[in-house]
Structures are given as C-alpha cells and as structure tokens.
Structure 1
Amino acid sequence: MSLLKKLFGKTPPAESSSAAEAAPVPATALASAPAAVTEQNPAENPNLIRAYDAYGREIYVTREQWRDNVLLGAIEQNWNDAEQLAGLIIQSLNDNFFEEMIRPAERLVELDANSERAVVLQAIVYMKVGRLDDSEKVLLAYCAQHGDTGIVLTNLAKVHAERDDESKTLETLWRALQLDPNQDNGLGWYQAIHQDHGGDVAGVTAMRKVAALPHSWRAQLWLARGELGSHNYAGAIALYRESLARAGKPVPADLLMQMSGDLGNAGQIQEILQLAGPHFDVQAHGMRVGNNLIKALMYLGQLDDAQRLLNQLYAQNRPDWKENLAYWDGELAQARIGDGVVDQPEALRFSMLLGRGPVWLAPVSPAAVLYPAIPPGRPLITFLGGSADVGSTADHAQRQLADPAGRLSRALPLYLNEQVALRCGLRTQTLVPWLAEPDPGFVLSSSAWPDADAVHHARQCEQPSAYVVVSHLVTKADPWTATVRVLRMEDGSCIGEQSASFSMADPAQAVSSLADSVLQWISRDAGATVQAPPAAYRVPEGASFPRYLLRLEQLLAVRCNSADANRPGALNGEREIIDGNLRQCLEMPDSVNARLLLAQTVRAMKKIRPDVVAEFDAHLARLQSEHPLTEPAQGIVQELLDQA
C-alpha cells in the first residue's frame, strides 16, 4: 500500500476561503528582469516569489522586486475593478504582504460596500497587522447591517482567539458552523479544538455534530477518512455519496480532491472513477482533481482516457500546471511502452530515412535565400549516427523512450551536417535509422556502424556521396565519449578519426572540437575552404548548447513521426518541444537559425498535433512582434509560421 500512498498524497488545502483555484498573476512587468540568484531550490526560499512572464516561463524574484515592479502597478491598474482587486489581495495575503494590502482592502470596501468578501478581506488585513479592534468593528458592522454569516463569524472567532478568549472563540465558531458547516478552515479548527481537549474521540464527536447540521457535506469527508482508516469501505462510500448529494452542482473542487486522494491512499482506485469521475469539470476543478483522476486511470490501465483528460488540462494554458502535466506526459508514454519486450522480433523491419541539408534548412525551403547558395555540383556529404554503447547487457531488441544517449546519437550528425553545409559550402544529407514495422520509431544500435555498412547505406541513396561521416557514442559511464570517422566513398578509406570525452551536461567543447576536425579533414581532402559561419547562423554556447542539440533532434523526431499520416509514430512531450524552442528563441532573439528551427518544428507538429500548435498561437505572435528579426528573415519566418 505504500506505493498507493505515495501516488495519492494529500495536498494541504489553501488558506483562502474560496474553493476556486485562481490563476497566477502574470509578471509582465518582469518579463526582462533577471531571476534572483540563489544556491538553494528557489521554490523553497521564502524570500522569493514564483511568477510567470508573458511567455509562461516560470521565474523567481525577490519580494522587493515583486512588490515594487509588479504588485503596486497591478493594484493601481485595477484600483476601480473590485473583482481584480480582490484577487490581488487574496494572492498578496498568501504571499505575506500585509501592510501593503491595507489601502487596497479599504478601497475594495468602497467599491463593494455590501460585499461579504470585501469586508472579510478588510478584517483579515487588519488582523494580520495587529489592528484587532478595527477587524472586530468591521465584522460586527457587517452583521448588524446584513445579518450573521458563517464566514464573517469565523473570522470574528479568529479575532477572539487572538485575544486568547477561548470560550468566546468556541461559541462564535459554533454559531458560524451552524450557518455554514462547510467552511474548510472553520471546520478543521473546530475539530482541532475538541481533539486538543478530549483526544481523538472528542474530535470525531465534534465532526459528527457538524455532520448532523443541515446542508453539511465537508464533515462527511473527514468522517469517511476515518472509516477508510478502519477498513470500513462500505461506510466510507456511503458517507461520500451523502457528501456529494448535499454539495450541489458543480461539486466543490476540494470535495473531489480530498475524496479521490483518500480513496487512492486506501487502495480503492475504481471507486475514484465511479464517485469523482462523473462530477469532474476541467474549468471548475482543474489540476487539483484532474491529477488524482489521471493517477487512477493510469493505475487501472485506461491510458487513452488518461490522455484525453491530460489534453483537457493542457488546453487551459496554465503555466503553473506545466511541470505537473509534463510529468504525466512522460508517465503515459512510459506506460504505453510497458516492459519494452518485443513480442515478435522476427517481424521487425528497418529502413533508412533521408533528410537533405541542415534539418531546419532544406534546400527547397524559402529560408534558403538567407544563406549562401550551395551549387548543385558541389560534393555531397552523408552523415550517419544513431548508435550508442550504453552498457546494456540485453542481447535483443527493446522498446524504450528516447533517452539522452539516443537523442545525442541523432543530434550529433545533425549538428555536424549544418556545420559542413554552412562553413564549407558543401551539399549534405543525413541518414536516420528507422523502425518501419511493427511500430514506427527511431533505432538505436549499441554498436558503431562498420565502415562497410556505412558506405553501403550511403551508396543506396539516390545521389552519390563523396564522403560519409559516421558518429558513435559510448555512454556507459561519465564522462561520455563521442567518436567520428570520415570515410571516402571512392575507396572506403578513413581519412580522419577522432574521439572526445565530455560530461553529459556539458558537451559543447567536445562537439565543437569534433566538428572542427571533420571540417578540416573534408576540406583538405575535397579541396574546399572552411569559412566563418554566416551572419544568419548563431549557435548558443555553454549551458545552452546541449539544449540546441536537443531541439535539432526534436525537429527530426517530429518530422519522422509525422512523415506517414496513416501511421504516425509515438511522439510524446509535444508541448515541451514547442515551448523549449520558444525559450531558445527568447534566449537568442537575434538568431535566425534558432527562429527557423522553431518555425519548422511548429510546421511539422501541425501535421500530427494541430491542437497543441494552437495553444502556442499567442506566444508565437508575441515573439514575432516583440523580437522581430531583420528583413528578409522576419518575413520568411512569419510565412512559415503562418503556414502552421
């Protein structure tokens, strides 16, 4: 059962009195601000605030930056908008901005004097800054004018608690629960008071007392948790059904979240789908409930249903959900592969796919005019990779998700390809080992291509090659090693070979060294000249370089998996692919090749996942508008994006 408990961990409820899950305030004013520097995980640093820029990128800024550059401006902008102002106050209270919320809370009451929400927020702000008399005054004034309400009395009880008046606290809290027995904080507080005084029995008795009140549904949730703990599953299900019947429509998100989480921890997975599934609404319940439903669907093997739910959540365009959704993307992809065993290895059929030119710059692309033309009579260089010794002892074919070794085995020949094409002015093409049957996908060989095989495959191409460049990785231990060999097609001889070692996280120097060697060998043997890269070709350096290699491989993956519309491959992580390209363009806004890499990826993705491409429309338009390239590159990239 420990695995189930790990999967269905309970998320503590937020302190907000609202059951709605509010979207985060975008930090548009900080779109170009540097992230705060810290050695620890920024999410665990109380002095940093998580925000999202206009492109959905997560950033962490100091409290001072947030207050001065975002919060104060947002308050001023929404000074006359009660709804927006209330949201800002709630978020700011959660971020422990109390003094700063005094004026906004008072303004909210001016805008909406009869609103319970406005008065409660004003009272909370006063309470947080120690103005207990003012807090009590505004709460009592509201009750005198509009009558008692559960939330107002609960906050009045908090004022009494701050004054250590226990009897008045408990009396006021009970009155609050009689009016609204489903206040999360109020109910938990009431149960805790009794449990502290009389132990677990007193706590359960208090909860049953609340459950007996008309319209109560939250107390039933807590009582059901106790029944699950006692393995009285029938009793728990009865309480859940009663809770659902009383809660109304739409069912509160925290009801479904707690119920599904507790059922999961108790191993009652099927009941999650039976009880929570029919009530789920993606806009009302979002990630908090969707998370547990995806877990349940995956546990029961209902992968297609889990994918449909995941797509619904992605479509909400919530940057704060991105990491969680990406996790389930990977888990679903792995679940489809299962143990990786190939049932009928004799049915495997392999082939070679061919890509001409750099992966982002096909010879027939409209973007070809941005780079020096390569005459048709120039020597043709073929690149072949797709092999890595990962140290596996398996002696048979296995299905697996793409891993760093496999990705780099395909990215390295793509990078060497564009270097030779753009710096030597030679024609280039890349051969990609591909599984045609039974399921399309890349092939990763554990052994380096023998020279004779590499030459043979290059000779099968329509146009004759002058050289074939073979690359191979050894990734059994850190550091990794990459080896390149350049073979002359005329006689199969090796005109150059080099190996370079590097850490998986920092391949830049090693890969650049290998590329320089390949350029020198081919230029010397073919009588070509190595030139400086064109102005429209910029490759990132340092920590960004491996991400550039990844984007090359991902464009290849999207193209290969979309080549046959009738049998598309099993692509996963589609949103990360586009988002990663978008981020790369923001890191290098003047790089033409980075922008073309993004545009070609989006065009290829349109063939298999137009719904995913549509989710990025606004971000792509913003990139083109805020970071335009010089013409004619800007217009050509826009033309490619318009086609998508």
Structure 2
Amino acid sequence: MFRRLVAAFHPRKPALPAPATHDAITAYDEHGRQVMMPRAEWRDKVLHPRLRQHWNSPDALYATIMSALSDGFAPELMTAAARLVEIDGLPERSHVAHGIVLLESGRLDDAEAALRAGIRAVGETAALLTNLAKVTHDRGIAAATADLLGRAVRLDPNFDHALNGWLAFERERAGEAGFLAALRDACGLPGSWRAQLLLARHHLAAGDLPAAREQYTAVLAAAEVDGSALMTMAADLARHGHTGLIVTLVGPVYEPAKHGPQAGFNLLRACLETERVAEGEALLARLRPLAPAPFTRHLDEFQRAFRQLHGTVAPV
C-alpha cells in the first residue's frame, strides 16, 4: 500500500550515495539554449556559488534550494535550508523546505522536528501536514498518514499532494467506490476545484462527456481560475479526443499574464489541430512578450505551423 502511495506525494528519492560524476544537469543559457553540465561541475561551479550569492535573499535562496532538490542534491542543501528558516519572512515556506531537504536526506526525526516547528510558528497548514504525512508514510504508520492527509485536504482541498495522497488511501481502503465517494466529498469542500477536475477526468474515461463538461463549466465559472486547472483540463480533453472543446472552454478565460505560458501552449496545440489559425496567431501575439527565453523556440515552431496552414510556407 505504501509503495503505491509514493507517487501521490512530491517526487522524492531516498538518500543515496552521490551520483556518478558523468551524470549531467540540464540547464538553459540566457538565450534559451539547452546546456549540459556534469553533476559535480554544476554543484561546484553553479549550485554552491548560487547559494552563497543568495545567502541573505530569502526568495532567491528558496528558489535555488527547490530547484536543486529536483535534481537530487538534498544532502548539499541542509545548511542552506536551515539558513532559510533564519531569514525568511514566510515561516511556512521555510519550514516546509527545511523539512523536505531533511526528509530527502533520510533524516526522518529531524524532518519531523522541522515541520512541527513550522506548525508551532504558523499553525497547521496543508503543506506542513502533507509533509508530516510523508514522514509517517516512510515510517510505515498508515493510520497517522491517512489522518494527516485528511486534515490537509480539509484545510486546502486544492493542495494536490494532499488530495492525491488522501484519495489513494481511500481507494486502497474501500476500492473504486470509496475513491469516488471521497472525490465527491472533496468536490463539496469550500473553494474546491482540483477534485472537480479529477471527477471530470473520471467521466471522460467513462465516455460521459456531458458530465465532464458540467464539472469544467463549474470550475471555469469561479472568480479565480488557476493556470494549472486550465493545463489539466486541456490535457485531459486532448487525451480523450475532444480537442475542439479546449478552444471552446479554455480559450475565452485564458490570460497569459495570469495563467502562465504552459496553459497557452496547450491552447495553441488545440488551435493548430483544429486549424483555427486566426485564434492561434492572436494567442501567439499575446504570448510572445511574456514567454521566458526557453519557450521562444516553441513559439517559433507554432508560428511556422500556422503559416503552413495559411499556405504561405511550403511544408518541409
């Protein structure tokens, strides 16, 4: 059961010996070009200098820690994570980061202490409780893990790691019927929208497009639509062959500055596949001023594809 739940949490690897020096880190230069560096070289020439550079800047230090965590450098980050707790004006953020660094370094007792210190500082939050659930999960304490995840979901039903973990427990405990009952309960929590997207995904898989569309309409009617909600909606509709609905549902509400470029790429693909050239080119014009450098070449590819639909560029 616990192994199946691992995927429901933030991706995490146990503490392991240092990777071989020939392993590479992918990065991007200022022109958006992909570059590869050996891990040891990246650690010594990029990570350590960057940590020193941002030692007194909590936002930049936090971003550096979380980026390096995703590349498996947890043991290299323990001192920096402790420093973040000292200087950060956002104690929930710093204690969660510290707890994750310790957890991913295999120091469960220290991780629990860091997370409980965060709770003493700001009270229970979904992020702190979910990461405490990772500690009890690694210790094999199922009841405590389920309780912590349930409390996290009630605090924030849209915190995906908590919601996914709790639903996985309910599926294990009571099968598919239990999973769906829990999912519908989560849909009813104040402010919930992520559970509605999961319920829509279930309806799409069952071939019930009207029921899925009903859930999507409810999510889109909310005053604040999250960019990740639009990404999930577009990806699920595309996976089940309803590309045209992406343009119909997502297009009218998508705002590049608010929802980010990734949701815009999903919408661009939908415009391309449904040959809606005018909508696609208008969206490209809105995305270009806001897209980070690594995305520029993707926008260029979309531009060429739309021009081919116009017939102004010969197919390669």
Deviation at 1:184, TM superposition (A): 1.2
1:138 aligns with 2:51: no
- SS class of match (2:257): helix
Residues 86 and 114 (structure 1), Cα distance of their counterparts in 2 relative to 1, 3 Å cut: closer
1:604-642: CA deviation from partner (whole Å, max 9, x where unpaired): xxxxxxxxxxxxxxxxxxxxxxxxxxxxxxxxxxxxxxx
Look up the match of 2:268. Answer: 294
Residues 317 and 220 (structure 1), Cα distance of their counterparts in 2 relative to 1, 3 Å cut: closer
Aligned residue identity for 1:293: L
Aligned residue identity for 1:153: L
Equivalent residue runs for 1:147-546 within 5 Å: 147-246=123-222, 248-249=223-224, 251-337=225-311, 401=314, 403=316
The 1-side partners of 2:307 and 2:89 are apart by 53
The 2-side partners of 1:66 and 1:316 are apart by 28
Normalised to the residue count of structure 1, the TM-score between the two structures is 0.44
Is this contact kept in 2: 1:260–1:272, CA < 8 A? yes
The 1-side partners of 2:75 and 2:40 are apart by 13
The 1-side partners of 2:313 and 2:147 are apart by 62
Deviation at 1:326, TM superposition (A): 3.3
1:108 aligns with 2:84: yes
- SS class of match (2:37): strand
Deviation at 1:59, TM superposition (A): 0.8
The 2-side partners of 1:93 and 1:245 are apart by 36
Residues 13 and 323 (structure 1), Cα distance of their counterparts in 2 relative to 1, 3 Å cut: farther
1:55-110: CA deviation from partner (whole Å, max 9, x where unpaired): 33221111112111111111111111111111111111111110111111111111
- SS class of match (1:123): helix
Structure 2 unmatched runs, 5+: 1-6, 12-21
Deviation at 1:323, TM superposition (A): 4.2
1:515-536: CA deviation from partner (whole Å, max 9, x where unpaired): xxxxxxxxxxxxxxxxxxxxxx
The 1-side partners of 2:9 and 2:238 are apart by 21
Residues 297 and 400 (structure 1), Cα distance of their counterparts in 2 relative to 1, 3 Å cut: closer
Residues 225 and 111 (structure 1), Cα distance of their counterparts in 2 relative to 1, 3 Å cut: same
1:370-400: CA deviation from partner (whole Å, max 9, x where unpaired): xxxxxxxxxxxxxxxxxxxxxxxxxxxxx86
The 2-side partners of 1:112 and 1:66 are apart by 26
Between structure 1 and structure 2, the one with the greater Rg is 1
Deviation at 1:170, TM superposition (A): 0.3
1:75 aligns with 2:54: no
1:446-471: CA deviation from partner (whole Å, max 9, x where unpaired): xxxxxxxxxxxxxxxxxxxxxxxxxx
Look up the match of 1:85. Answer: 61
- SS class of match (2:25): strand
The 2-side partners of 1:149 and 1:264 are apart by 34
Is this contact kept in 2: 1:217–1:244, CA < 8 A? no
- SS class of match (1:49): strand
Is this contact kept in 2: 1:113–1:119, CA < 8 A? no
Aligned residue identity for 1:267: G
1:117-150: CA deviation from partner (whole Å, max 9, x where unpaired): 1110000001011111111112222223322111
CA RMSD of aligned residues (A): 2.4
The 2-side partners of 1:317 and 1:213 are apart by 34
The 2-side partners of 1:258 and 1:137 are apart by 35
Residues 110 and 141 (structure 1), Cα distance of their counterparts in 2 relative to 1, 3 Å cut: same
The 2-side partners of 1:112 and 1:61 are apart by 30
- SS class of match (2:260): helix
- SS class of match (1:279): coil
Equivalent residue runs for 1:626-641 within 5 Å: none
The 1-side partners of 2:309 and 2:187 are apart by 41
Is this contact kept in 1: 2:108–2:135, CA < 8 A? yes
Residues 13 and 334 (structure 1), Cα distance of their counterparts in 2 relative to 1, 3 Å cut: farther
- SS class of match (1:176): helix
1:54 aligns with 2:30: yes
Deviation at 1:180, TM superposition (A): 0.7
Deviation at 1:402, TM superposition (A): 6.6
Residues 132 and 197 (structure 1), Cα distance of their counterparts in 2 relative to 1, 3 Å cut: same
The 2-side partners of 1:273 and 1:14 are apart by 31
- SS class of match (2:106): coil
Deviation at 1:163, TM superposition (A): 0.5
The 2-side partners of 1:212 and 1:144 are apart by 29
Residues 55 and 258 (structure 1), Cα distance of their counterparts in 2 relative to 1, 3 Å cut: closer
The 2-side partners of 1:99 and 1:181 are apart by 31
Is this contact kept in 2: 1:261–1:292, CA < 8 A? yes
Is this contact kept in 2: 1:58–1:319, CA < 8 A? no
Is this contact kept in 1: 2:92–2:122, CA < 8 A? no
More helix as a share of residues: 2
Is this contact kept in 1: 2:9–2:164, CA < 8 A? no
Is this contact kept in 1: 2:171–2:178, CA < 8 A? yes
The 1-side partners of 2:193 and 2:243 are apart by 22
Is this contact kept in 2: 1:177–1:186, CA < 8 A? yes
Aligned residue identity for 1:239: Q
Aligned residue identity for 2:306: L
Name which of structure 1's ranges 212-221 and 187-196 shifts more when overlaid on structure 2: 187-196
Deviation at 1:114, TM superposition (A): 4.8
Normalised to the residue count of structure 2, the TM-score between the two structures is 0.87
The 1-side partners of 2:274 and 2:190 are apart by 37
More strand as a share of residues: 1
- SS class of match (1:278): coil
% identical equivalent positions: 34
Deviation at 1:113, TM superposition (A): 5.5
The 2-side partners of 1:47 and 1:14 are apart by 25
1:562-616: CA deviation from partner (whole Å, max 9, x where unpaired): xxxxxxxxxxxxxxxxxxxxxxxxxxxxxxxxxxxxxxxxxxxxxxxxxxxxxxx
